[in-house]
């Protein structure tokens, strides 16, 4: 079965005619809103997505009981995909070893490529014991309980006492899942610094505040109070936040106790004879300020071991190194002296080894700044990234014809199904029907094979 082209961009009315041709890699909020901005400004835009469904972390990263929020976002995304001048192709990986490479996209005539594929990699500390059974990354677990293939099919061995390393919203999501789905005995969240440096948001803390061990929280604040006082920080701020949230706390669904343990750095994960987690050794930290006035943690040399049987890292994300772009730390390298800065930020890619700008490649969203905020920030960053692309395209020739047929021919040559907008409509209807039949607020197919079958696509054949 071949891709059936919709109305060709060069057959549209003069008011709808497109002058340039761009690709956006990644169909999360940053990529979707960037695509709409580009298409509305006369740039015919093709969205390439690794997953079958669009939405990225808005689809697969928001806690699954927030159905109304997710459906509201899906409605926005459907409107974007219906925008004239946007094509969508899902179940398609772009990268050095993917279905298409960046050079392939250039050869297919794209004048600019905006990378908004997020931070697909996982960040680890590199401490001994990370290979043990019972050690996981938060992202993998979040994808699992949100039914993102293939993570939906993974098996996770969760014990009764769980250590979560990190102090952001991802940590709270994992604590939420552990309390209400796994119903573990204890969750211990470990933060390298103090309460004044936590990254989680008040509204996210509210979802789990009912599980907090309040007596342990008081003892913890008293323990670190002298250090915070010495730095001019308010040790009572977190306590007041918790007290303000408690009257609004959702009903608890288990006897799980959540503890927040500050000034703690993991140094080693201990394993038993079966290769499974049986403990976590941590070093106690102290706080000080560096020359720039920033609060930093310094190890004290004092160590002790926590009795836990599961360790989950929630310490941030890294970009996909297989895409084919130079990486600087956790992010793609950006031009330090941008040609088209937006709010003082660079959206242009850069090769540090050669010291040159990569002329036609741009980044936005978590591809620009890993683990940066949620949907609202991603949307704004996508629009800003599109503004940079638009400035760049002003120097490129206006196309007499959009070379879409070349892309369609290449996609038809792939030995796999490629998902377009019409297929997504079929999938939405199939999942909606399943939800009605089962009396559920939401239903998701948990595997790619099930989704492809629901769309009428053969998993083993090209589209």
pLDDT score recorded for residue 462 = 44
53/46 Cα distance (integer angstroms): 15
DSSP 12-39: S-GGG---EEEEEE--SHHHHHHHHHHH
In the predicted model, is pLDDT for residue 173 greater than 80? yes
In the predicted model, is pLDDT for residue 163 greater than 50? yes
pLDDT score recorded for residue 373 = 66
42/44 Cα distance (integer angstroms): 6
185's CB contacts (< 8 A; 6+ apart) are: 160, 161, 255, 256, 257
- Two tokens, residue 417: 């199904």
DSSP 52-109: SSS-THHHHSS-TT-HHHHHHHHHHHHHHHTSTTEEEEBS--BSTTSSB-HHHHHHTT
With bands split at pLDDT 50, 70 and 90, how would you rate the model's confidence at 13? very low
Whether residue 48 contacts residue 92, with contact meaning beta carbons closer than 8 Å, is answered with yes
Supply angle C-alpha 260, 262, 263, rounded to 5. 160
Domain 9-120+318-454 and domain 124-315 have a common topology: no
pLDDT score recorded for residue 67 = 72
338's CB contacts (< 8 A; 6+ apart) are: 345, 346, 347, 348, 388
pLDDT score recorded for residue 66 = 73
pLDDT score recorded for residue 389 = 98
pLDDT score recorded for residue 107 = 97
With bands split at pLDDT 50, 70 and 90, how would you rate the model's confidence at 290? very high
CATH, domain 9-120+318-454, list 3.90.245.10, 3.90.1300.10, 3.40.50.720, 1.20.1250.20? 3.40.50.720
For residues 420 and 70, the model is more confident at: 420
CB atoms within 10 A of CB 413: 8
- Two tokens, residue 127: 């401490």
Average pLDDT value for the chain:
92
124-315: what fold?
Answer: FAD/NAD(P)-binding domain (3.50.50)
Question: Radius of gyration of the chain from Cα atoms?
Answer: 24
203/364 Cα distance (integer angstroms): 26
- Two tokens, residue 248: 């609004």
Beta partners for 190?
Answer: 165, 261
Which region holds residue 91: left if phi is over 0, alpha if psi is between -120 and 50, else beta? Answer: left
In the predicted model, is pLDDT for residue 131 greater than 70? yes
22/257 Cα distance (integer angstroms): 50
For residues 16 and 445, the model is more confident at: 445
With bands split at pLDDT 50, 70 and 90, how would you rate the model's confidence at 69? confident
Whether residue 69 contacts residue 398, with contact meaning beta carbons closer than 8 Å, is answered with no
With bands split at pLDDT 50, 70 and 90, how would you rate the model's confidence at 360? very high
- Two tokens, residue 275: 């290769």
pLDDT score recorded for residue 367 = 93
463/459 Cα distance (integer angstroms): 9
pLDDT score recorded for residue 415 = 87
pLDDT score recorded for residue 458 = 72
Beta pairing class for 112-115 and 277-289: unpaired
In the predicted model, is pLDDT for residue 119 greater than 90? no
Q: Is 379 helix (H, G, I), strand (E, B) or coil?
A: helix
Q: What are phi and psi of 275, to 5 degrees?
A: 75, 25
Q: Is 257 helix (H, G, I), strand (E, B) or coil?
A: strand
pLDDT score recorded for residue 122 = 84
In the predicted model, is pLDDT for residue 14 greater than 70? no
Q: What does the pLDDT look like over 292-350, one tens digit per residue?
A: 889 999 999 999 999 999 999 999 888 988 999 999 888 999 999 999 999 999 999 99
In the predicted model, is pLDDT for residue 35 greater than 50? yes
Domain boundaries, the chain: 9-120+318-454, 124-315
Q: Is 378 helix (H, G, I), strand (E, B) or coil?
A: helix
345/361 Cα distance (integer angstroms): 15
Q: Side-chain half-sphere of 135: how many Cα atoms within 13 Å? A: 23
For residues 440 and 277, the model is more confident at: 277
- Two tokens, residue 148: 């993102």
Question: What length does the chain have?
Answer: 463
With bands split at pLDDT 50, 70 and 90, how would you rate the model's confidence at 118? confident
In the predicted model, is pLDDT for residue 356 greater than 90? yes
Q: What does the pLDDT look like over 374-392, one tens digit per residue?
A: 788 899 999 999 999 999 9
Which single residue is written with the structure tokens 């306590």? 239
Whether residue 242 contacts residue 235, with contact meaning beta carbons closer than 8 Å, is answered with no
Whether residue 113 contacts residue 361, with contact meaning beta carbons closer than 8 Å, is answered with yes
């Amino acid at each position: 079965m071949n891709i059936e082209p919709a109305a060709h961009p060069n057959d549209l009315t003069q008011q709808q005619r497109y002058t340039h041709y761009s690709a956006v890699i990644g169909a999360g909020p940053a990529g979707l809103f960037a695509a709409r901005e580009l298409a509305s400004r006369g740039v015919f835009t093709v969205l390439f997505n690794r997953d079958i469904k669009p939405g990225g972390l808005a689809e697969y990263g928001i806690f699954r009981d927030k159905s109304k929020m997710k459906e509201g976002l899906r409605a926005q995304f459907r409107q974007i995909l219906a925008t004239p001048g946007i094509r969508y192709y899902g179940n398609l990986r772009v990268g050095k070893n993917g279905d298409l490479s960046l050079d392939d996209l250039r050869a297919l005539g794209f004048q600019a490529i905006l990378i908004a594929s997020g931070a697909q990699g996982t960040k680890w500390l590199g401490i001994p014991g990370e290979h043990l059974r019972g050690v996981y990354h938060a992202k993998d677990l979040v994808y699992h309980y949100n039914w993102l293939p293939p993570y939906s099919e993974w098996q996770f061995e969760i014990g009764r006492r769980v250590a979560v390393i990190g102090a952001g919203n991802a940590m709270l999501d994992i604590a939420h899942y552990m309390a209400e789905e796994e119903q573990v005995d204890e969750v211990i969240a470990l933060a390298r610094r103090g309460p004044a440096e936590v990254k989680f948001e008040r509204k996210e803390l509210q979802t789990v505040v009912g599980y907090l061990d309040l007596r342990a929280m008081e003892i913890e604040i008293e323990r670190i109070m002298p250090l915070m006082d010495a730095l001019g920080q308010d040790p009572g701020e977190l306590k007041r936040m918790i007290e303000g949230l408690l009257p609004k706390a959702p009903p608890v669904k288990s006897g799980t106790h959540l503890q927040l343990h500050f000034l703690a750095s993991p140094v080693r994960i201990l394993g038993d004879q079966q290769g499974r987690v049986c403990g976590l050794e941590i070093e106690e930290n102290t706080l000080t300020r560096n020359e720039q006035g920033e609060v930093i943690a310094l190890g004290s040399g004092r160590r002790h071991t926590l009795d836990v049987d599961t360790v989950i890292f929630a310490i941030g994300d890294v970009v996909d190194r297989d895409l084919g772009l130079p990486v600087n730390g956790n992010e793609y390298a950006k031009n330090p002296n941008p040609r088209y800065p937006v709010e003082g930020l660079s959206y242009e890619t850069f090769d540090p080894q050669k010291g040159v700008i990569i002329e036609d490649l741009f980044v936005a969203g978590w591809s620009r700044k890993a683990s940066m905020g949620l949907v609202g920030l991603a949307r704004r960053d996508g629009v800003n990234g599109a503004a940079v692309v638009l400035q760049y395209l002003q120097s490129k020739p206006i196309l007499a014809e959009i070379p879409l047929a070349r892309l369609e021919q290449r996609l038809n040559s792939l030995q796999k199904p490629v998902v377009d907008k019409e297929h997504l409509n079929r999938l939405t209807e199939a999942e909606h029907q399943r939800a009605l039949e089962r009396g559920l607020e939401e239903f998701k197919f948990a595997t790619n094979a099930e989704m492809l079958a629901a769309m009428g696509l053969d998993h083993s054949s090209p589209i």
